[in-house]
Structure 1
Amino acid sequence: MNIDTKLSIHAALEAGSRAGIPQPSLNRLPQYHHYLAELNSKGISRVSCSLIGTDLNLVPVQVRKDLQYTGIVGKPKTGYSVPELIQAIESFLGWNNVNEAFLVGAGNLGTALLGHERFSNFGLSIVAAFDADPEKIGQWIHGKAVLPLEKLADLAQRMSIHLGIITAPAEFAQAIADEMVRGGIQALWNFAPVRLKVPAHIIVHNEDLYSSLASLSWKLARRYRVPIQQDGGFH
Structure 2
Amino acid sequence: MTEPRVGRASGDSRVPEATVARLATYLRVLSILAERAVATVSSEELAVAAGVNSAKLRKDLSYLGSYGIRGVGYDVTTLTEQISRTLGLTVHRNVVLVGVGHLGEALAGYAGFASRGFRIAALVDADPQRVGRVVHGLPVRDAAELAELVAEHEITIAVLAVPGSAAQDVCDQLVGAGVTSILNFAPVVLAVPPHVDLRKVDLAAELQILSFHETRKAIERSTRVAQG
TM-score range, shorter chain: 0.7 to 0.9
Partner of 1:49: 43
* Partner residue of 1:156 out of 127, 150, 157: 150
Tell me, yes or no, if the aligned pair for 1:139 and 1:146 is still in contact at 8 Å.
yes
Aligned to 2:90: 96
RMSD, aligned CA: 2.5
- Match status 1:189 vs 2:180: no
Cα distance between partner residues in 2 of 1:192 and 1:53 = 32
1:78 aligns with 2:72: yes
Which residue among 96, 101, 115 is the counterpart of 2:109? 115
Query: 41, 59, 62: which one pairs with 1:65?
Result: 59
Give the whole-Å Cα distance in 1 for the aligned partners of 2:148 and 2:36.
48
Amino acid at match of 1:211: A
Paired letter, 1:90:
S
Whether the aligned pair in 1 keeps the contact of 2:184 and 2:201 (CA below 8 Å) is yes
Identity across aligned pairs (percent)? 32
Q: How many residues align?
A: 218
Cα 1:124–1:15 shift into 2, 3 Å? farther
Pick from 98, 107, 119 the counterpart of residue 125 of structure 1. 119
AA at the equivalent of 2:123: A
Correspondent of 2:136 among 125, 132, 142: 142
The answer for the alignment partner of 2:217 in structure 1 is: 223
Q: 1:85 to 1:200 in 2, by over 3 A?
A: same
Matched letter for residue 160 of structure 1: E
Q: Is the 8 A contact 2:11 2:88 kept in 1?
A: no
Name structure 2 gaps, 5 residues minimum: 221-228
Q: Deviations over 1:167-195 (max 9, x none)?
A: 01000001101111111111111100111
Q: TM-score, normalised by structure 1?
A: 0.83
Task: Summarize the Cα distance change of 1:159–1:224 in structure 2 as closer, same or farther, 3 Å threshold.
Answer: same
CA distance in 2, matches of 1:123, 1:205: 18
Displacement, 1:54? 4.7
2:162 aligns to what? Answer: 168
Give the 3 Å change call, closer, same or farther, for CA 8–191 of structure 1 in structure 2. closer
- Asked if structure 2 preserves the Cα contact closer than 8 Å seen for 1:45 and 1:81, the reply is yes
